[in-house]
Amino acid sequence: MAFTHFNEDGRAKMVDISAKSETERTARAESALRMQPDTLKAILEGRISKGDVLAVAQVAGIMACKRTADIVPMCHPLPLTGVDIRFSNNGTDILHIEAEVRTKGRTGVEMEALMAVSAAALTVYDMCKALEKGIVIEHTQLLFKSGGIHGEYHRET
């Protein structure tokens, strides 16, 4: 079996994507934070002492998404054409984060979407840890991707 991210000397390398065609590429990922109902209520009502949790988490997710190649060693730096982060909740104890990332390029944006929701979730935790240290970040996963030779992927629910 040949490994794509190792050279003939067995050393790490970034895969050459120059021969790939540019296509429209999209990825959606999600993460969730499980917390006490009072913590979720405080977030939604803007009562967290550090400020507007969702606004800061949204910006953090976008910023991290743009820096994915600086953090994940074999990721290519990509010219992103769009990043959107949305929040929802179950009305009780779970805050959902979903990111959609787009580019026109030679490689996909799955890692960028996963980075966006991860950074947003960590930011929520950071801003709320004084109120609740037991918040759990869970279910960080790819939901959808399109573009490229592997086509579409849809996570089965």
52 belongs to the catalytic site: no
Angle at 135 between CA 29 and CA 30, to 5 degrees: 5
* DSSP letter string, 68-89: HHHHSTTPPP--EEEEEEEEEE
Active-site residue, from 16, 38, 93, 126: 126
Q: Sort residue 49 into left (φ over 0), alpha (ψ -120 to 50) or beta.
A: alpha
User: Do residues 144 and 28 make contact, with C-beta atoms less than 8 angstroms apart?
Assistant: yes
Which residues belong to the active site? 126
